[in-house]
Amino acid sequence: MNDTPPTRADARRALLGASRIAVLSGAGVSAASGVPTFRGPDGLWRNHRAQDLATPDAYRRDPLLVWEWYQMRFHIIAEVEPNAAHVALAELETRTDDFTLVTQNVDGLHERAGSQNLYELHGNLTKSRCEACGYLESLEPDFPLPPHCSRCGARARPNVVWFGEMLPQDAFQAGIDAFGRAEVALIIGTSAVVEPAASLGRLAAREGAFVIEINPEQTPLTPFATVSLRADAVTGMKQLLGDNVL
Ligand code: NAD
Ligand code: ZN
């Protein structure tokens, strides 16, 4: 019998030995790139809380205000680079048979870092989506506000999932499948207060996966974690994978 709680070394062994890994990432992974999180100290823009702007109601009330906010975030993203945590996750994928990355981030940095089996649960703010025909278009620097569809001319909205909206069902289903079969689930840089994304962590725990959390703070998923690393994303990935990956 061995009752000592699992350690960081156990987490490292579990991660490096696993052939099925599922990862849920959030805004904290992009913090080191210079992309503000929603619930951190930079969460206010012109005195609006991010959680209040990322809603269908806010867009109905003041579409230009919401678009200006997305344009500001678009410009941030255009100027930053993926950081060592994004790169480590892409690298981990190349050495794992069955690897799925489910992200709540809308910044496209995981894709730029080279992640392949990637599901963006909340869309991607580098694209607009036509409100009439659904056509998706990549936004160009200095795009006009609001952008209009180049197919049908109707107004386009940001291609993101707002609070209260449905997730893309194929992406969420892929997440359920991946977290349901994972040997190791890694929850990194998310406050885990947005549902149903956070439910993926509980699913993996229920199915007996080794759940690793990386976050400087405690979250509602911490009680479900086998090992919690109280670290920023870059440091946590380094602790798990060692310097050879970073
Ligand atoms: P969140 O803002 O709610 O939480 C951020 C979490 O990251 C917190 O738990 C915080 O403790 C942690 N964190 C802060 N700095 C960190 C670091 N350096 N390393 C690791 N963790 C760190 O973000 P969320 O959980 O992703 O969820 C909320 C919503 O925010 C999502 O729907 C997402 O679409 C949206 N969002 C996305 C971005 C982005 O794409 N980069 C940025 C802000 C918000
Ligand atoms: Zn259209």
Torsion of CA 23, 24, 26, 31, to 10 degrees: -10
What ligand 1 atom has the least distance to the C-alpha of 214?
20
**Is there a contact between 20 and 183 (Cβ–Cβ < 8 Å)?**
yes
Tell me the CB-side half-sphere exposure of residue 60, using CA atoms within 13 A: 4
210-223 confidence digits (pLDDT tens): 999 999 999 999 99
First to last CA, the chain: 36
Strand partners, 213: 187, 228
Q: Is the pLDDT of residue 141 over 90?
A: no
Mean predicted confidence (pLDDT) in 185-195: 96
82-116 confidence digits (pLDDT tens): 999 999 999 999 999 999 999 999 999 999 999 99
34-65 confidence digits (pLDDT tens): 999 887 666 688 889 998 999 999 999 999 99
Catalytic residue flag (residue 110): no
Give residue ranges with CB within 6 A of ligand 1: 26-28, 30-32, 35, 37-40, 104-107, 122, 189-191, 194, 215-217, 219, 232-233
Write out the H or E segment, with its range, that includes residue 24: strand 20-25
Distance between CA atoms of residues 208 and 62, nearest Å = 46
What ligand 1 atom has the least distance to the C-alpha of 160?
34
**Average per-residue pLDDT for the chain:** 95
For residue 225, the tally of other CB atoms under 10 A from its CB is 24
Distance between CA atoms of residues 212 and 230, nearest Å = 11
Catalytic-labelled residue, pool 75, 86, 110, 122: 122
Distance between CA atoms of residues 37 and 210, nearest Å = 27
And the tokens for 243? 């310097």
Distance from the alpha carbon of residue 136 to the mean position of ligand 2, in angstroms: 8
